[in-house]
Each structure stands twice: as structure tokens, then as C-alpha cells.
Structure 1
Amino acid sequence: MTITTLSSREFNQDSSRAKKAAEQGPVFITDRGKPAHVLLSIGDYRKLAGREVTLAEALAQPDVADFEFTPPRAGGMTRTPDLS
């Protein structure tokens, strides 16, 4: 993971550079030399937010060898068969 730091001015002048850097790791955006914002890829954000990953999203990550996937329980989808 690479951490990139850009000033607010650099970010405003070259946002595409910041977006490309965010694919490699977080991008800290400073305001007057102090960290003010962080730019993350959507994948990194979802990991931090603790959102459950769907099977399709997990499989769409070609650079990730292993991942945790806990499928949701199928509550209310079963019924007792009528054997009469």
C-alpha cells in the first residue's frame, strides 16, 4: 500500500493524479501543511465502513487472493412440506 500526500492546490490542479494514486492506497490532502481530507478507492472505503461484500463484488477483485465472505441467512424462505 502506497500513501500519497498532495496539497489542496495539487489536488485541484490534477485530480486525475489523485484518483490514480488512490488505487494504490490512501491519498492525504493537506490544507496549509496539515492533513484535511483523505481520498480512498471505493474498495478501501467499503472495507473501512464494514459493509458486507456481495459474492459478485468479492469475485470482481482480481488482485485479491483470499477474502472473507459470509452469505446472509435465508430467513423466512423455508416452509414445512404438506405430506397429507
Structure 2
Amino acid sequence: MSITTISSRDFNQDTSGAKKAAQNGPVYITDRGRPAHVLLCMEEYQRLTGLNASIVDLLVMPEPAVEFEPERAVITPRPVDF
């Protein structure tokens, strides 16, 4: 994976080149020398955001599993007041 950095002016003049570079890794688009945007291919975007994950993948407990042992509830009866 390679990271490419281009200015917003170069991006406007060669959008297809930026899209081709995004197939190999993220493309940083700069405004006045500072990173302002990132161009990613759709597969990488979906992998990062988890948009293509199934509900089962989203609900899986990450490792290590959390140990949980709740305290036993103590219920004491009270006299009924009518």
C-alpha cells in the first residue's frame, strides 16, 4: 500500500490519475500544503467502516471476552398495605 499526496489543484487537473492512485492506497489531497481530504477506493472504505459486515460480524464479542458474574438478587417480602 502506497500513500500518495497531491495538491487540490493537481487533483482538479488530473482526477483520473488520483483515482488510479487510490487503487494502490490512500490519496491525501492538500489545500495550501495541509492535508484536507483523503481519497479511498470503495473496497478500502467499506473495510474501514464495516459497511459490508453482516449483523453476526458486528455482534461478535471482541477478544478477550469480558467476564461478567452479577451478584445474586436478594428479594425480601414485605407485608401488603391496603
| Counterparts of residues 1-84 of structure 1 (less than 5 Å) | 1-53=1-53
Query: Structure 2: where are the runs of 5+ without partners?
Result: 58-82
TM-superposed deviation, 1:51: 1.8
TM-score computed with the length of structure 1 as normaliser? 0.62
Runs of 4+, deviation exceeding 2 Å: none
The percentage of aligned residue pairs carrying the same residue is 62
Number of equivalenced pairs: 56
CA distance in 2, matches of 1:16, 1:33: 21
Query: Structure 1: where are the runs of 5+ without partners?
Result: 55-69, 71-84
TM-score computed with the length of structure 2 as normaliser? 0.63
CA distance in 2, matches of 1:39, 1:15: 11
CA distance in 1, matches of 2:52, 2:16: 29
Please, what is the CA RMSD of the aligned residues?
Answer: 1.7
